[in-house]
Each structure stands twice: as C-alpha cells, then as structure tokens.
Amino acid sequence: MKRTVENKQTRRNAPGWLITFEGGEGGGKSTQITRLRARLIKAGFQVIALREPGGTVISEQIRTVVLSSKNTGMAFTTEVLLFQAARAQIYREIVLPSLIAGKVVLMDRSRDSSVVYQGMVRGFGLDLIEKLNNISTQDTYPNLTFLLDLEAKLGLLRRQQSEEINRLDQESLQFHKHVRRAYQQLVQTDKMDRWELIDASQSQRQVELAIWRIIQDRLFIK
Ligand code: TYD
C-alpha cells in the first residue's frame, strides 16, 4: 500500500509533508524521529528521515567542519553560512524532490535552528537569517514542527550521558537556557500554525504517543 498525503497547509505546490523536530540539546529528537518513521511506514506512507546539518554526502562533509570541536577559531559568519550551505544542498538534492514525490520528510533540525541559534541567541539578526533560509530552502517552510521542550540543565545532563559531544555542546548552561527561551519565544510569535510544543521531560514512550496523536490528527490517519 502506498498512501499519499492530503496536504492542505503548504505554501508549496508539492504534495508531500515536511515535518521538522526542533529544540535544545538532549530532547530526544533522533529517537522520536526513528519511532515516528516506523509508525508512518506501518501506516503506509513513504517516509524519509534526515538530519541537519548533514543528510547528503556534501552536507555531511560540511557537518564535519562546522561541528568539529577542533575548529575553535571559526568565524561566526563562516558558521552561519556553513549551516546554510549544508541546508541548500539537502533541500536541492533530497527534501524538495521527496516532497514533489509525495513523501513524508522527517527532519532532525532545519531552518528554525538557524533562526534560534544564529539569529536569536547569537544575535545575527532575524531578517538576515530569514532571507538566507529562504534561499537555501527555496522558500520552503515545514508543514509541522515539533518543539521538544526541556529544561536546559536536564538536556545537558542527558547529553553528557551519551558519548557524542560537539563544538556547540561545549557552550555554557547560560547559552542553553537562552536557546530554550528563544524557541519558546519563536513558537509564541510565529504566525504560522505549524508548531506543536511537546514536554520532552516525559518518558520517551509518552513523548512518542503525544507526537503520534498529533500526527494522526494532522495527517488524517484513522
Ligand atoms: P547535533 O549533534 O545534531 O545536535 P542535536 O542532537 O542537539 O541536534 O548538532 C547540531 C548542532 O548544530 C546543535 O548544537 C545545533 C546546531 N545548529 C545550529 O546552530 N544552526 C543550525 O542551523 C543547525 C541546523 C544546527
């Protein structure tokens, strides 16, 4: 069975659905994407799961450079543009063709990460980030964005228990608190009806079920 998605919300003409997962460190985005992917496939959808920065050969190479803990001397403008470069490649190569083909695309971070981390927390400016995001995504917005919201301290603690620590994880607790506040602010001020705020301090199972209820509702799955 191959189900297609009824897409009433998109500003694009493509029939697929773009669902992004956002939030600070340790919110469990990748676990939830794996679980949602399995559920959607079982329900008959064609699903593709990706992460940013990364997801294509070129974008993964950019990821290595932008997140390497060795690159402490990276200029801030370089960081901004590298995230956008990785994004431009993944949208061109995978996201947009998949949406045109009617697939459900699940993404671990996308344009809102640049809005929050570079635009709001580092103060690069929202207008500029919005322009760059529109260039790299070809004016594509997600149909649905889950914010996995979690106290910064708890997120960092969870992150430290997993082995993978990157350049941006090394920022102070203050930075991570700022990230959380910025996401919450973005959800409150964004005019688009695409945000779903999830309490990520719950168990993984509870978060999974909360996400699935919303997906069933929004994708009209019986
Ligand atoms: P990753 O290891 O994928 O972290 P997480 O599991 O929290 O998603 O590293 C991605 C890091 O890059 C994360 O700290 C957020 C940051 N980032 C930006 O600052 N801007 C961006 O546009 C993107 C996509 C990520």
Asked if residues 41 and 30 have their Cβ atoms less than 8 Å apart, the reply is no
Please give the average per-residue pLDDT across 189-210, as a whole number: 95
pLDDT, position 72: 93
Hey, which of 69, 91, 117 would you mutate to test ligand 1's pocket, going by the most ligand atoms within 8 Å of its Cβ? Answer: 117
The per-residue pLDDT for range 141-193, each reduced to its tens digit, is: 999 999 999 999 999 888 888 767 676 666 788 999 999 999 999 999 988 89
Taking the CA of residue 53 as reference, the ligand 1 atom at the shortest distance is 24
The closest residue, in CA terms, to atom 11 on ligand 1 is 168
Strand order in the sheet with 17-22: 47-51, 104-108, 17-22, 144-149, 195-199
Neighbouring-strand partners of residue 148: 198
Q: How remote is the CA of residue 76 from the centroid of ligand 1, in Å?
A: 15
User: Could you tell me if residue 3 is left (phi over 0), alpha (psi between -120 and 50 degrees) or otherwise beta?
Assistant: beta
Nearest residue to 135 (alpha-carbon basis) of 91, 188, 183: 91
According to DSSP, residue 149 is labeled E
Ligand 1 centroid, distance to 35 Cα (angstroms): 20
- Tell me what pLDDT residue 14 has: 86
Which neighbouring-strand residues pair with 7? none
Q: CA–CA separation, 171 vs 167, rounded Å?
A: 8
Give distance in angstroms: CA of 214 to centre of ligand 1. 25
Q: Ligand 1 centre from 166 Cα, in Å?
A: 9
Ligand 1: residue whose CA is nearest its atom 20: 114
Work out which ligand 1 atom sits closest to the CA atom of 164.
2
Q: How far is the CA of 97 from the centre of ligand 1 (A)?
A: 24
Closest ligand 1 atom number to CA of residue 87: 24
Amino acid in position 204: Q
Within-domain flag for 11: no
- The ligand 1 site (C-beta within 6 Å) comprises 25, 29, 51-53, 67, 83, 108-109, 113-114, 117-118, 166, 168
What pLDDT was estimated at residue 144? Answer: 97
What is the mean pLDDT of the segment spanning 13-35?
94
DSSP 55-116: SSHHHHHHHHHHH-TT-TT--HHHHHHHHHHHHHHHIIIIIHHHHHTT-EEEEES-HHHIII
Lowest mean pLDDT among 73-82, 108-117, 165-174, 213-222: 165-174
Tens of pLDDT, residues 118-133: 999 999 999 999 999 9
What integer best gives the mean pLDDT of the chain?
A: 92
- Note the pLDDT of residue 11: 46
Whether the predicted pLDDT of 7 surpasses 60: no
Confidence check: pLDDT of 54 > 80: yes
What pLDDT score was predicted for residue 169? Answer: 65
The answer as to whether 38 is a domain residue is: yes
Q: What is the residue type of 36?
A: L
Q: Does residue 6 lie in a domain region? A: no
Could you tell me the residue range of the domain that residue 73 belongs to? 17-218
The answer to whether 100 touches 15, Cβ cutoff 8 Å, is yes
Q: Is the pLDDT of residue 1 over 80?
A: no
Q: Is residue 3 part of a domain?
A: no
Phi and psi dihedrals of 128, rounded to 5? -65, -45
> Within 10 A of 185 (CB to CB), how many other CB atoms are there?
12
- The rounded Å distance from CA 12 to ligand 1 centre is 26
The answer to whether residue 157 is domain-embedded is yes
Question: Is residue 1 a part of any domain in this protein?
Answer: no
Cβ-based neighbours of 196, under 8 Å, separated by 6 or more: 144, 145, 146, 147, 211, 214
52 CA from centroid of ligand 1 (Å): 7
- pLDDT > 60? residue 9: no
Q: How confident is the model at residue 3 (pLDDT cuts 50, 70, 90)?
A: low
Does residue 59 carry a pLDDT above 50? yes
The CATH number of the domain where 72 resides is what?
3.40.50.300
Share of the chain above pLDDT 70, in %: 91
Q: Answer yes or no: is pLDDT of 17 > 90.
A: yes
Q: How many domains does the chain have?
A: 1
pLDDT(2) > 80: no
State the amino acid at position 192 in one-letter form.
M
Residue 8 confidence (pLDDT) above 50: no
d(CA 165, CA 152): 15
